[in-house]
Amino acid sequence: MSTLNNVFKKLDSIDKVNLKSQKVELGLIDEISKELETAFSAQDVETEINNAVMKLQKALPFYKSAITKCDEALVKIKDLGITGGVDKKVIDQKSEATSMVKSIENRISGLSKLRK
């Protein structure tokens, strides 16, 4: 019996471990891990960047085609001697299409720099 008392005395003298606080600390570590996972997945925008670049690249040929058609129309307008501001409208449309091509190319370039 004295051995048993000695064991209990020794156990009593050992610092008690507060399991409740350790459980809380482990809970915080789990929360931090989950938040980091969420942050990492939210930060991964590669797919969105690629989709945006693809959409912009799809639009480019239409604008370039419009520019070519505007050039053709301006030649025909000049050859036919048409007046009345039609040429001005075609020039404005060509200017708008040209501006959009430059804008799209700049956006594609900027988005490409963001890729990993």
pLDDT band of residue 65 (cuts 50, 70, 90) is very high
Each residue's pLDDT tens digit, 1-56: 677 677 666 666 666 655 555 555 677 888 888 888 888 877 778 888 889 999 99
Q: Positive or negative, the Cα torsion across 71, 73, 74, 79?
A: positive
Q: The pTM is what?
A: 0.61
How would DSSP label each residue in 24-42? Answer: HHHHHHHHHHHHHHHHHHH
Each residue's pLDDT tens digit, 68-107: 999 999 999 989 888 788 889 999 999 999 999 999 999 9
pLDDT for 81 equals: 87
Contact 55, 108 (CB under 8 A): no
